[in-house]
Amino acid sequence: MDRVVYDRMAEHDSTHWWYRARRDILADYIRRYAALPEGARILEIGCGTGHNLPMLARFGEVDAVEIDAAAREIASGRLGKPLSAAPLPMLEGVERGRYDLIAVLDVVEHVLDDVTSLKAMADCLAPGGKILITVPAHPWMWSAHDVVNHHHRRYTKATLEKAIRDAGLKPAKLGYFNSLLFPLAAAARWVGNMTGKDDSDDSPPPGPVNWLFERVFALERHLVGRVPMPPGVSLIALASPAGPAR
């Protein structure tokens, strides 16, 4: 990602409506569907500034991977221990067969070889382990945001499912989220692309709008995984090894 993306993340990840509401949604999703054991071993890959780490730590012992040195330093402070810098797709140096949950949250789209990356994550799972995946949806929504974030792709349900299955995994609870605000996001992307004034700035909107968007988005914590969601800005899935439990 461009340096400015990490800088904005560090500045806004505790206040921006998207980060705050997404953490609530993911926490409920993990609680309902991940079936984690007591004291679960959890790995977040591509943790950025570590804004998800306190949420993940509610469920067990957390390790993390981040390749950007400045973001890794911030995340290490939040986690209270050093982080790995092992890059995808191979995750060299990450212990195999260890983790009950691997969280890869808006990361797979950054990697040229998503299938090999998912295979390497699968090798790091303990028996019964799962991979929590979120990715941006809808290739037609490609914009300056994707460019500055160094995305290689946006996914459809079909292409995400194919990548998961090609990695020898099976998907569960695959569906959209960030659906309630999708019409606004889609309209903004369409207008930006049509006018050539697409804006990659993802700083928070004014306070009252930021508050409203957070409340609306956070409502989805009661819905995601429980009911089929209409098209949304993002996709979510839990993936587990397709063969017999290892």
What single string gives the DSSP state of each residue in 65-112? E---HHHHHHHHHHHTS--B-PPTTTTTTSPTT-EEEEEEES-GGG-S
- d(C-alpha 147, C-alpha 200), whole Å: 8
Domain borders along the chain are 3-241
pLDDT at 150 over 80: yes
Banded pLDDT at 245 (limits 50, 70, 90): very low
Q: What are the helix and strand counts (H, E) for the chain?
A: 9, 6
pLDDT per position as a tens digit, 164-210? 999 999 999 999 999 999 999 988 877 766 766 555 667 889 999 99
Share of residues in the chain with pLDDT > 90 (%) = 82
Question: What's domain 3-241's superfamily in CATH?
Answer: Vaccinia Virus protein VP39 (3.40.50.150)
Is 233's pLDDT higher than 80? yes
Percent of the chain topping pLDDT 70: 93
Going from the C-alpha of 164 to that of each of 28, 65, 88, 96, 236, the distances in angstroms are 23, 21, 16, 19, 12
pLDDT tens-digit map of 31-58: 999 999 999 999 999 999 999 999 999 9
Residue 47: its pLDDT value, please?
A: 97
69-79 vs 3-12: helix crossing angle, rounded to 10: 20
